[in-house]
């Protein structure tokens, strides 16, 4: 539990958008190491000791970030380290000119770096800081202070071209983020369709497992009673054949409404199959569950549903079990299922 809380402090590991960001952070961190360290060694060989020292120090910091901080799942801090280390490096390359006056060429990678790692809003703030530092350096520092000489025309075109790259990178990041959000929304809708029954608007079998397990574990931990009920609509197949599926759907909706009006707020109702319903009854003794089931049977039998002036007689077959002597919630469901079919066959009765 503690580890999960520590992770969630920095990132929602269930969110695909953040999983994508984790991949990008690791990728940029690794590329940064492979980019700065060899160039630092090359600068050392060529006798450019200041540039070599700067690149190798940044490579060491990036390596520490990649193998220590990122491994501890502190991805927010890891992204900050990568972005701001490269911001400092690129400012230095503009200041010094880099190798053979090519230092300014590297700054065009910064917009993609900042936007990919920090997102559109935060990334644009990083870029604004970088551009402001460039302008201040060009305005306040003359040629005697800068290690590299730049003409006014070059400075102006450098900033303008950098802004164009920023605009294009921002446009790409915006469209990519929007597309990703739309795909994620569509995925969530498809998951909901898979988990929720469209007719009754109840959670389906595949969507109830987590809640079943949580209620079971909580009851076991607190030594509290809990019961499981399975309800089957009798003769629904005959109703569909005689009156049509629209009437069968109406019957299901009416029965679902009646069950929902009968259960407590703490109880859980879900679809178990097409005509079977699962009811989880936490903090409920077995005799109370039987009393509830008998009352529910009567409420369903008293429902006044008709089609073309023909009354439709409804009834439920209900099976009940508790969790007292079972090793899992699914064992309790199996016991309830067996009891339900014995009721349906007339082998046992709730009365």
pLDDT digits (tens, 9 = 90+) for 120-149: 999 999 999 999 999 988 887 766 667 778
Maximum distance among all Cα pairs of the chain, rounded to whole angstroms: 101
Per-residue pLDDT, averaged over 248-253, amounts to: 88
Please give the Cα distance from 170 to 164 (Å, whole number).
Answer: 10
DSSP H helical ranges for the chain: 2-8, 16-45, 49-64, 75-96, 110-140, 152-195, 205-222, 236-243, 245-262, 286-301, 329-344
Please give the Cα distance from 39 to 105 (Å, whole number).
Answer: 15
Please give the Cα distance from 157 to 101 (Å, whole number).
Answer: 16
Chain centroid to Cα 136, Å, comes to 42
Average pLDDT along the chain:
83
Query: Which CATH number describes the domain made up of 205-344?
Result: 3.30.70.270
Please give the Cα distance from 180 to 18 (Å, whole number).
Answer: 11
Could you tell me where in the chain the CATH 3.30.70.270 domains are found?
A: 205-344
Q: Tens of pLDDT along 63-74?
A: 887 777 656 667
Per-residue pLDDT, averaged over 197-206, amounts to: 60
Q: What is the 3-state secondary structure (H, E, C) of 67-82?
A: HHHHHHCCHHHHHHHH
Please give the Cα distance from 102 to 108 (Å, whole number).
Answer: 12
Contacts of 262 (CB under 8 A, 6+ apart): 292, 295, 296, 299
Helices 49-64/75-96 angle, 10° precision: 170
**Higher pLDDT pick, 168 / 51:** 168
Assess whether pLDDT exceeds 70 at residue 18: no
């Amino acid at each position: 539990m503690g580890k999960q809380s520590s992770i969630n402090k920095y990132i929602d590991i269930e969110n695909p958008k953040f999983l994508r960001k984790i991949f990008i952070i690791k990728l940029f961190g690794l590329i940064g190491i492979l980019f700065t360290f060899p160039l630092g060694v090359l600068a050392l060989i060529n006798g450019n000791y200041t540039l070599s020292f700067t690149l190798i120090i940044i490579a060491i910091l990036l390596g520490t970030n990649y193998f220590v901080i990122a491994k501890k799942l502190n991805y927010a801090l890891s992204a900050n380290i990568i972005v701001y280390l490269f911001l400092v490096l690129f400012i230095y390359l503009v200041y010094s000119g880099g190798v053979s006056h090519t230092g300014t060429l590297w700054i065009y990678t910064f917009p993609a770096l900042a936007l990919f790692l920090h997102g559109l809003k935060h990334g644009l703030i990083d870029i604004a800081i970088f551009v402001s530092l460039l302008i201040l350096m060009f305005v306040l520092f003359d040629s005697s202070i800068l290690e590299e000489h730049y003409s006014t025309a070059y400075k102006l075109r450098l900033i303008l071209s950098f802004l164009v790259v920023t605009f294009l990178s921002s446009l790409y990041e915006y469209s990519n983020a929007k597309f990703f959000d739309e795909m994620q929304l569509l995925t969530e809708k498809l998951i909901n369709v898979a988990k929720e029954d469209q007719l009754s608007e109840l959670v389906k079998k595949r969507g109830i497992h987590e809640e079943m397990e949580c209620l079971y574990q909580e009851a076991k931990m607190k030594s509290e009673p809990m019961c499981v009920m399975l309800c089957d609509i009798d003769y629904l197949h005959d109703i569909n054949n005689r009156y049509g599926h629209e009437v069968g759907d109406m019957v299901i909706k009416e029965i679902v409404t009646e069950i929902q009006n009968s259960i407590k707020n703490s109880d859980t109702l879900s679809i178990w199959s097409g005509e079977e319903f699962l009811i989880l009854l936490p903090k409920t003794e077995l005799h109370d569950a039987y009393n509830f089931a008998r009352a529910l049977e009567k409420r369903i039998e008293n429902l006044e549903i008709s089609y073309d002036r023909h009354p439709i007689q409804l009834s439920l077959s209900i099976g009940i079990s508790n969790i007292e002597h079972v090793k899992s919630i699914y064992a309790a469901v199996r016991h309830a299922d067996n009891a339900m079919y014995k009721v349906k066959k007339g082998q046992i009765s709730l009365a």
